[in-house]
Amino acid sequence: MLQILSELCGGVGLFLIGMTLLTDSLKEIAGQTLKELLTRFTATPFKAMLSGLGMTLLVHSSTATIVAAIGFVGAGVLSFTQAMSVVIGANIGTTSTGWIVAFLGMKFSISMLALPMIALGALLKLIAKGQMALLGLVIAGFGLIFFGIDVLQKAMAGFAVHSDLSFFGYDSLWSQLVLVLIGIIMAMLLQSSSASITATMAALVSGAIDLPQALYMVIGQNIGAVSITVISVIGASINAKRTVAVNVIFNLVSAIAAFFLLAPFFLWLIKHSAFFSSIDQVIMLAMFHTAFSVLGACMFMPSLKFLEQKIIQWLPSNNPAILDSLDDGSLQVPAIAVQAAEKAVYFSIFEIFKILQMVFQTGTLPRQQQLNTLNEIIQHIEQYLEKIAIPEHPALKQKFLSLLRVMVYVRVLHNDLERLDNAILLRTQPAIFQLALDYCNILESYFSNIEQLADQSVIESLRADLNHLKKWTSSHRAEMREKVMEYTEVNQLSASKGVELLAAQRWMDRLIAHSYRFSNVMYERLLEES
């Protein structure tokens, strides 16, 4: 019996390692595809659900899909309603594992095929680079999955000889609840709904359990699977918590419906329909698993708006909204992490320019709380950028590097805000104040909304105007200095006051120069992406 338990644990371990290799490699290969799917095919809730389903089939991981949805909600690409639809689609897509196991893993012994796949995948990883190396990990992952299934089958066959689970039954409510509880515990212990369902299929094939028992165990495994996501969002952003809340509610409500409606219906079909009773039991279990999630989708899709209102009400946000986009979970998909960081960087520069506009136009300094919040956001962006690990993807790497260059000037311009008192001082000297107003008019023309930062034509015009102003200040710097000194003498200002006015002039020159360099970096960035 000890050997059987060892084989069970080993089979599950091999399956989990294979799933991890497969999922992580596919996420890196298809990271940009994930982004394109989410941004292009989520116009309606139904399309968003299909996108979630398709993405999960593509990367073989509902977690990756949900993380992508969280990242794009924060980045403003998806609404929360669209993200909920993606989560529902991901729950349907994750049932594909059951179909793969049913049609391939349980139909014949694939250990002889699995070992060469592992060898081929390892060889590709060692000798190849970039996408081919990742493909090697995908192949090795599949090999480990199939080898783990083979070990599980053999272990379950031995378990069936030494154990009799028929005493659990499935006729009474009590026995059904016990089977659901067993499924919950399996999913929580294995920390993978795919692994627990695969183990259930192996037990079904070996005869350790029968189909009715397996149906109720699968219900429990779908409930237990939410523990994985709940644990993962402890300390995470509000977007992550809200999206996981959707996943939890979806699985719990679907499980209740499956327990009282779907499972009895399937058992009735098997008993009274010759067609359904002739279908292989493992395929019936995979069919039940998919029907489970489809039933939940039919229940939830019509009421997404109501669910969105309730979840936002239950989980309000206390942080600056932009920080919700910088979710650590999004780091699992670098393309999405870069998109989220880009939005936060653009928000910061837009806030800096709006503060400058306000000070020059009204002579009113911003509240200290506003400056503290902006400083907190910039620090958070810098920390988040340090965590992003870019894979071997030239276009994404170039985009990330250009974003880092933009971030340098965000920090430079933010440092300029430390001497905002100079802006107040400029208002007392007509010549310099006119220069400040010219600079302010340029900002006002090109920063009426944050979307303009991503518009190449707008940034090109901004760059040209700032360059003209910068050249003018350079050629008239000595003349402006003389005017300041003359103003100081005529108005009989103290020497220290004159020095302060000269310092304010130099600050204004630097601000214009920094703004121009920022616009130049932004223009180059947008030019590369066009």
- Domain range list for the chain: 2-314, 333-529
25-58 residue pLDDT tens: 766 766 556 666 666 677 788 888 988 898 888 7
Task: Measure the CA–CA gap between 509 and 136, rounded to whole angstroms.
Answer: 56
* pLDDT higher than threshold 90 for residue 448: no
3-state class of 218 per DSSP? helix
Most confident of 64-68, 304-308, 513-517: 513-517
* pTM above threshold 0.85: no
Task: Measure the CA–CA gap between 323 and 335, rounded to whole angstroms.
Answer: 18
* pLDDT higher than threshold 80 for residue 153: no
CB-based contact 242:311 (threshold 8 Å): yes
CB-based contact 311:253 (threshold 8 Å): no
Share of the chain above pLDDT 70, in %: 88
Would you place residue 388 in the very low, low, confident or very high pLDDT band (cuts 50, 70, 90)? very high
Architecture of domain 333-529 in this structure: Up-down Bundle (1.20)
- Select the more confidently predicted residue: 515 or 209: 515
* pLDDT higher than threshold 60 for residue 204: yes
Would you place residue 288 in the very low, low, confident or very high pLDDT band (cuts 50, 70, 90)? very high
* pLDDT higher than threshold 90 for residue 161: no
Predicted local distance difference test score (pLDDT) of residue 107: 55
Would you place residue 134 in the very low, low, confident or very high pLDDT band (cuts 50, 70, 90)? confident
DSSP run (H or E) holding 427: none
Task: Compute φ and ψ for 527, nearest 5 degrees.
Answer: -65, -40
Residue 493: which residues within 8 A CB-CB, separation 6 or more? 487, 501
* pLDDT higher than threshold 80 for residue 173: yes
Predicted local distance difference test score (pLDDT) of residue 396: 86
Q: Stretch 170-197: mean pLDDT, rounded?
A: 84
Task: Measure the CA–CA gap between 152 and 13, rounded to whole angstroms.
Answer: 10
Task: Measure the CA–CA gap between 360 and 379, rounded to whole angstroms.
Answer: 26
* Token pair listed for 107: 């139909």
Q: Stretch 384-411: mean pLDDT, rounded?
A: 90
